[in-house]
Amino acid sequence: MSILDKFRLDGRVAIVTGASSGLGVAFAKGLAEAGADVVLAARRVERLEGTAELVREAGRRALVVRADVARPEDCRGIAQAAAEFGQVGVLVNNAGVASAVPASKETPEQFRGVLDVNLHGAYWMAQAAAAVMTGGGSIINVSSVLGLVSGGLPQAAYSASKAGLLGLTRDLAQQWTGRKGIRVNAIAPGYFASEMTDQYPDGYLESHISRMPMGRVGDPEELAAAVVFLASPAGGYVTGATFVVDGGVTLGG
């Protein structure tokens, strides 16, 4: 097997949550180009069809599942549908929501709503996927640099959820890598243009470019490449790690 062959995912089924827009679309497309069939899950099922078409254009099969990862029963439904589709080998826990509410004003419902999707949903989905990864596999939790550093906006719930994902990643890796053959890693993206960043105040992204040694926001394909590495045999000796893909934001310059 050549080095390039190690990045292939032929014969595997990958699950991508939050696949209806933004980075989820890039992840699904990248995994399909690496050879995986892809199960696409999101609440907005009508928008998943566009992602499914990209997967099919790459020559792979796509399955669309309407689900809310905050509901454990929905996560089990995604995993069961994926297992019927083929050999599940990859989960990308990408579903997420953001909020920017001052801590003195954030309600319990607002705070819990973010954690229910970003952290709890990733846990329920990991549990469900691990149960059907009978041949081992790779789970990739999509965290954020805001789980490591401050972004300058009042984002207590979002930052807490993304920091929590890093701890969850380490613990699941410790529990499952040796016993189940499931590697568990996280990526911590910096600033990438997406539907989520469209909600930022005018000029917010531009103001952060000065913090980036790369001098630009990221291209979603650059992040998808990191996901393919962690999902594939190329990343076979990596578990419990956090891959920071941020153009240098966390250097602190």
In this structure, what CATH number is given to the domain that contains residue 151? Answer: 3.40.50.720
Residue 252 forms part of a structural domain: no
pLDDT at 130: 98
Residue 212 forms part of a structural domain: yes
Residue 238 forms part of a structural domain: yes
pLDDT at 194: 66
pLDDT at 207: 67
Residue 249 forms part of a structural domain: no
CA 72 to chain centre: 17
Residue 251 forms part of a structural domain: no
* Spatial distance between the Cα atoms of 249 and 237, rounded to a whole number of angstroms: 26
Residue 250 forms part of a structural domain: no
The answer to whether the Cα torsion of 137, 122, 153, 206 is positive or negative is positive
pLDDT at 184: 98
pLDDT at 76: 98
Overall number of domains in the chain: 1
Residue 113 forms part of a structural domain: yes
- Domain enclosing residue 221, as ranges: 4-243
pLDDT tens digits for the chain (253 residues)? Answer: 799 999 999 999 999 999 998 999 999 999 999 999 999 999 988 899 999 999 999 999 999 999 999 999 999 999 999 999 999 999 999 999 988 888 999 999 999 999 999 999 999 999 999 999 999 999 999 999 888 887 777 789 999 999 999 999 999 999 999 999 999 999 999 988 766 666 666 666 666 677 778 888 889 999 999 999 999 999 999 999 999 999 888 886 4
Coil vs helix vs strand at 96: coil
Residue among 72, 76, 168, 68 at smallest CA distance from 131: 76
Residue 131 forms part of a structural domain: yes
* Catalytic residue set: 158
